[in-house]
Structure 1
Amino acid sequence: MTRLKALPDVPRWAVVAAHAVPLIVLPSGLWRVALTFGAPVARVEDPTLGLAVYQLGLTVVAELLAFLTLGLVRAWGEVFPRRLPFLGGRPVAARGATFAALSGALGLAALTCWFTYVAFAGFAPYSPDNITESTLQKTLFLVCYLPLAAWAPLLAAVAVAYHRRRRPQGIG
């Protein structure tokens, strides 16, 4: 097995967790792309260009945000890459990065709780029962979206490891 790249002082579990985040976000994105391009993964009443742009945009933004988790275990999470204008070569503020990551984890946890509640209560137009027409479609939907429930705890754990590693010595 190839070694996952990270800084030498990053715990192995944090490296694995950070690399897992983009992979757990990927299935839902692939499901949305398939839906956008007409695959029979769910029922769409009135596909519009706006809906397609929204679905593809959401997929790209979610995957980009998921990839940011890697910055918590890589060198570019400690020093901005030189190619970035104005910031290149400057250190990343550990408190700011930790705050952003933990805020993201909290927001993801809230979204996960809300969408889980809505899906099981069944009163949203986007609950699995309302958008799927067959058992196979519902199963595919759940297989693609259930991994997202792990995004918030993984991000929070990696953010805490980042904070512990980057905090000034002597501060708890």
Structure 2
Amino acid sequence: MTTAAPAAPATPRPTSLPDVPRWAVLAAHAVPLVALPSGLWRLLLVAGLPVAEEGVDSPWTAAYVVSLTVVSEALALLTLGLVRPWGESVPRWVPRLGGRRIPPLVAVVPALTGAFLLVALIAWFVYANATGIGQGTIGSPAQDLFLLACYLPLAAWPPLLIAVTLAYHRRRAAPAPGPAPAA
């Protein structure tokens, strides 16, 4: 009776790179989570639940609100590329580009631009509501509180993104370790 040799254990695919600080991995994973509540609020609005006094009034508006939710969550998920292998080299399955290293600035410039746009957007909403330019309330006090609870986590997105991006840049732009200089 012949016994089969045990199969070699599959090597796990790295979920993050070994030289990425743990805090950067946690911060990158937090970004999609802080964007999620606002997206869920928008989906509840489209579904017709009473999260605001006025709901979505047309299919076009509903499509816009759902698209905004999908795009914002997709952009938040891109932060994971700053701590994962697919953020350093093009996946092998991509025709003609697969396996090539991504220059650090190709990721850093859009990430920092996005972070600063988010800061500007948040600053505008704070200013507009503080000065009365904004519409103020969207419904009952409970609806306003629920809206605030869903949108307030978004304020964490820019600093998290900036921190993870700077860690990515520091790690990727550092000179490769070479031989020790001769004395």
Verify same fold: TM over 0.5: yes
Whole-Å separation in 2 of the counterparts to 1:56 and 1:46: 11
Whole-Å separation in 1 of the counterparts to 2:116 and 2:56: 34
| Inter-CA distance 108–86: structure 2 relative to 1 (3 Å threshold) | farther
What is aligned with 2:106? 96
Whole-Å separation in 1 of the counterparts to 2:150 and 2:56: 23
Q: In the alignment, residue 165 of structure 2 is paired with which amino acid?
A: A
1:12-161 to 2 correspondence within 5 Å?
12-44=22-54, 47-125=57-135, 127=136, 129=137, 131-132=138-139, 134-161=140-167
Count of residues in correspondence between the two structures: 163
Q: In the alignment, residue 131 of structure 2 is paired with which amino acid?
A: A
Q: Secondary structure at the match of 1:66?
A: helix
Pairing 1:11–2:21 present? yes
* Equivalent pair of 2:32/2:77 in contact (CA under 8 Å): yes
Give the ranges of 4+ consecutive aligned residues of structure 1 lying more than 6 Å apart after TM superposition.
none
Q: Secondary structure at the match of 1:16?
A: helix
Whole-Å separation in 1 of the counterparts to 2:169 and 2:24: 12
Q: In the alignment, residue 139 of structure 1 is paired with which amino acid?
A: L
- Kindly, what percent of the aligned residue pairs are identical? 55
Whole-Å separation in 2 of the counterparts to 1:10 and 1:45: 44
| Inter-CA distance 43–15: structure 2 relative to 1 (3 Å threshold) | same
What is aligned with 2:8? none
Point out the structure with the larger helix share. 1
- Displacement after TM superposition at 1:72 (Å): 0.2
What is aligned with 2:3? none
- Displacement after TM superposition at 1:79 (Å): 0.7
Whole-Å separation in 1 of the counterparts to 2:130 and 2:58: 27
* Equivalent pair of 2:46/2:56 in contact (CA under 8 Å): no
Q: Secondary structure at the match of 1:84?
A: coil
What is aligned with 2:5? none
CA RMSD in angstroms comes to 1.7
Match of 1:167 among 155, 173, 177: 173
* Equivalent pair of 2:38/2:151 in contact (CA under 8 Å): yes
Whole-Å separation in 1 of the counterparts to 2:132 and 2:49: 24
Stretches of structure 2 that go unaligned for 5 or more consecutive residues are 1-13, 177-183
* TM-score, structure 1 normalization: 0.89
Stretches of structure 1 that go unaligned for 5 or more consecutive residues are none
- Displacement after TM superposition at 1:54 (Å): 0.9
Whole-Å separation in 2 of the counterparts to 1:66 and 1:23: 8
* TM-score, structure 2 normalization: 0.84
